[in-house]
């Protein structure tokens, strides 16, 4: 009897947690398909419409440009930071050289610098160089937040790979670089992929830098959201449609790698 009560209680709690986690997201998705009139009423039953998605890509919102900006900035950031970070992570994980601890400490601590400190000088610098409101500027600042984090995360994955296979390859006749190419990279591939997606998500969601550095040309999706606050008030149904555009790609990626995702999220931090 008591056991059964516990069983149901546990189930009810789990469902409650799922509802709390999902509700704000679901509500946004619902709103994205509502007519403006329905959006301003708390209604669950309504005639769905795709007009909002059409509207955000049209004048005057031009969400398409922001999607492009977000895709380019996030991809390029990943393509630069992940290869560099992987090499550094391997060095941190496998070599016991002098100064290793200090260097790693340095990398870790940069992760905790508040972004506002970095963005001030960058803003001044880009203003000087005429780089304000460009994707290049955004990529540079995003590298700052993402690179230390990715080093940290990939190191966690490489630490978990046994050294024996590498040593075997060296004895079998492989040079260090060959070992990295033939043994380490394939074995670390899931970890590197996970870190890449993490890195992509961080950059994709980045708000502060984009808010300060971009104006019109290089505006990314999260900043674009702010545009839907007009003199006529907040255009919730359009905002929600844009919100769906922001979240869907990220959610798909996150779910695809969900098994590694949870491990990756904690790998660097706890170990």
What is the number of other CB atoms lying within 10 angstroms of the CB of residue 166? 20
Nearest-approach distance from CB 65 to another protein, in angstroms: 18
Nearest-approach distance from CB 59 to another protein, in angstroms: 22
Q: Is 129 in the site for another protein (CB under 8 A)?
A: no
DSSP conformational letter for 44: S
Residues of this chain, 11-40, that bind another protein according to CB under 8 A: 11, 13-15, 17-18, 20-22, 24-25, 27-28, 31, 39-40
* Contact with another protein (CB under 8 A) among 72, 76, 131, 225: 225
Distance, in Å, from the CA atom of 72 to the CA atom of 108, rounded to the nearest integer, reads: 27
Q: Is 71 in the site for another protein (CB under 8 A)?
A: no
Nearest-approach distance from CB 217 to another protein, in angstroms: 18
Write the CA distances from 30 to 45, 75, 87, 168, 171, integer angstroms: 10, 29, 44, 56, 60
Q: Is 136 in the site for another protein (CB under 8 A)?
A: no
* Contact with another protein (CB under 8 A) among 54, 64, 129, 172: 172
Distance, in Å, from the CA atom of 192 to the CA atom of 112, rounded to the nearest integer, reads: 22
Nearest-approach distance from CB 60 to another protein, in angstroms: 19
Q: Is 8 in the site for another protein (CB under 8 A)?
A: no
Q: H or E segment at 230?
A: strand 229-230
Give yes or no for a contact between 244 and 28, defined as CB atoms under 8 angstroms apart. Answer: yes
């Amino acid at each position: 009897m008591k056991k059964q009560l516990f069983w149901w209680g546990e189930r009810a709690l789990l469902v409650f947690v799922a509802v709390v986690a999902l509700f704000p997201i679901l509500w946004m998705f619902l709103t994205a398909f509502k007519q403006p009139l329905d959006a301003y009423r708390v209604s669950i039953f309504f005639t769905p419409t795709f007009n909002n998605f059409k509207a955000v890509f049209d004048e005057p919102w031009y969400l398409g440009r922001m999607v492009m900006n977000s895709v380019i900035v996030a991809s390029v950031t990943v393509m630069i930071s992940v290869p560099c970070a992987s090499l550094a992570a391997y060095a941190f994980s496998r070599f016991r050289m002098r100064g290793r601890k200090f260097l790693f400490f340095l990398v870790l601590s940069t992760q905790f610098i508040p972004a506002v400190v970095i963005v001030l000088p960058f803003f001044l610098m880009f203003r000087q160089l005429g780089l304000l409101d460009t994707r290049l500027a955004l990529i540079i600042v995003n590298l700052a937040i993402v690179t230390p984090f990715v080093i940290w995360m990939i190191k966690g994955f490489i630490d978990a790979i046994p050294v024996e296979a590498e040593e075997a390859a060296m004895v079998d006749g492989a040079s260090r670089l060959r070992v990295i190419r033939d043994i380490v990279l394939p074995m670390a591939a899931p970890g590197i992929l996970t870190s890449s997606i993490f890195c992509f998500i961080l950059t994709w969601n980045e708000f502060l830098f984009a808010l300060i550095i971009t104006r019109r040309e290089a505006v990314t999706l999260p900043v674009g959201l702010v545009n839907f606050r007009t003199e006529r008030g907040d255009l919730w149904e359009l905002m929600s449609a844009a919100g769906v555009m922001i979240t869907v790609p990220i959610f798909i990626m996150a779910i695809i790698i969900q098994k590694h995702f949870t491990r990756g999220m904690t790998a660097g931090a706890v170990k």
